[in-house]
Amino acid sequence: MHVFVTGGSGWVGRGLVPDLLAAGHQVTGLARSTTAADALRAAGAAVLAGSLDDLDVLREGAAAADGVVHLGFKHDIAFAGDYAGASATDRAVVEVFGEVLAGTGNPLVIASGILGVLGLAPGVVATERDGLVPDTGDGTSPISGGAGRIATAHYALALADRGVRSSVVRLPPATHGNGDNGLIATAVGFAREKGAAAYVGDGANRWPAVHRDDAARLFRLALESAPAGSVLHAVGEEGVPIRAVAEVVADHLGVPAVSVTADEVHDHVGWLGGFWSTDGPASAELTCALVDWKPTGPTLVADLEDGHYYA
C-alpha cells in the first residue's frame, strides 16, 4: 500500500514510518521543514513538501496514495494558547482527506486523545465505545459548533458513511519512550526546574500509558484492517498512578516527591496542572480483539527507570 502520512517526523510518526516500511508499504510523508524532510528521507520515505495549512498539497498527497494516516497537529500553537486555531486547522485537513477518499473504500486513520473522553465521569475506565456523542446538528449536542479534536474525530468516523474506511486511534497522555518530548517529558522538566516531583492529594489518580512503538504499530494495523468507523485505544497500561510516576522521577532527579493540592499543582507543573490531577483510566480490550494488537513495550515506570528521560 502507498501511504500518505502527516506528522511522520513527529514523536509517533518516527515509530510509524519505519514500521510501515518494514511491513512492505511505501510511504510519502508531509514535511514543512528541511529538518522534517531529512528525517523522513533518512527513514526511507518519500517527501511531499508542505504544511497542514497547504490544503492543495494535502489533497495531492491523499489522491496519490492508497491510504492516509493523519498524525500531524499544530501542538506548538495549541500549547501557546490557540487550541481553537489548531483544532480548526485539524478539522480542515480531515475534511480534505474525506473529500479525496470518499467512495474509494480506502483507509483514513487519524489520531485523537483519550484523557477526558467526552461525557465520561472521572475515574471510569474508558472503552472504545465511550465518548461517541453524535452531533445532532440542532445545537443541542455537546459537540455542536466543534469541540476541538473530539468533534473532528466524530467527523472522521462519520466518513464511513461516505465510503471511507475511517478509524480513530485514541492516544493516552503517557505515550512514552526514548526521545519523548510530550507530557511525561514535560513533567520531568518541571520536577527538575521546581526541585520537587509533585502529585495531587494521594496521587492515586491514573493515566493510561503506552510505549510509542506499540502505538505506532497500532496505527499500521488500523490502516491495514480496522473496519470503517472504528475507534481504537492505544493503551498498553490501563492506569498508572501519578504518584508512582512522581516517585520514580524524584528518585532519579534527587528531589522530593511531594503531595500538593489542586490549587497548588500549577505552581509545580505549570500548564500541565489540569491534566496532572485527572483520573482517566482506559481499556484497549476491544482494540486488541479487533485488530490483533498486542502491546509488548516496556511499562511507563520501567521506561522512567531506564534513565533516558533525565539525560
One domain for residues 101 and 37: yes
Secondary structure tally for the chain: helices H, strands E: 13, 12
One domain for residues 100 and 130: yes
Set of cell numbers at residue 238: 490501563
Q: Looking at residue 262, what DSSP letter applies?
A: T
Identify the pLDDT of residue 249.
Answer: 99
Helix (H), strand (E), coil (C) string for 175-214: EECCCCCCHHHHHHHHHHHHCCEEEECCCCCEEEEEEHHH
Of 291, 82, 27, 282, the C-alpha closest to 170 is 282
Q: Which range of residues forms the domain containing residue 272?
A: 181-207+239-279+298-310
Residue 284 lies in a domain: no
Residue 75 lies in a domain: yes
One domain for residues 85 and 157: yes
One domain for residues 29 and 167: yes
One domain for residues 40 and 162: yes
Residue 285 lies in a domain: no
One domain for residues 228 and 109: yes
Domain count, the chain: 2
Length of the chain: 311
One domain for residues 143 and 262: no
One domain for residues 244 and 132: no
One domain for residues 142 and 245: no
One domain for residues 61 and 112: yes
Identify the pLDDT of residue 119.
Answer: 64
What φ, ψ does residue 110 adopt, rounded to 5°?
A: -120, 155
Q: The domain spanning residue 225 has which CATH number?
A: 3.40.50.720
One domain for residues 82 and 190: no
DSSP per-residue codes, 137-165 = SSS-STTTT--HHHHHHHHHHHGGGGT-E
- Residues with Cβ < 8 Å from 193, sequence gap 6 or more? none
Divide the 311 residues of the chain into consecutive groups of 10 and give the mean pLDDT of each group: 98 98 99 98 98 98 99 89 88 98 98 79 89 55 54 94 98 97 96 98 97 99 98 98 99 98 96 92 97 98 97 90
Residue 286 lies in a domain: no
Residue 67 lies in a domain: yes
Residue 292 lies in a domain: no
One domain for residues 131 and 33: yes
Identify the pLDDT of residue 146.
Answer: 42
Q: Which residues pair with 206 in a beta bridge?
A: 241
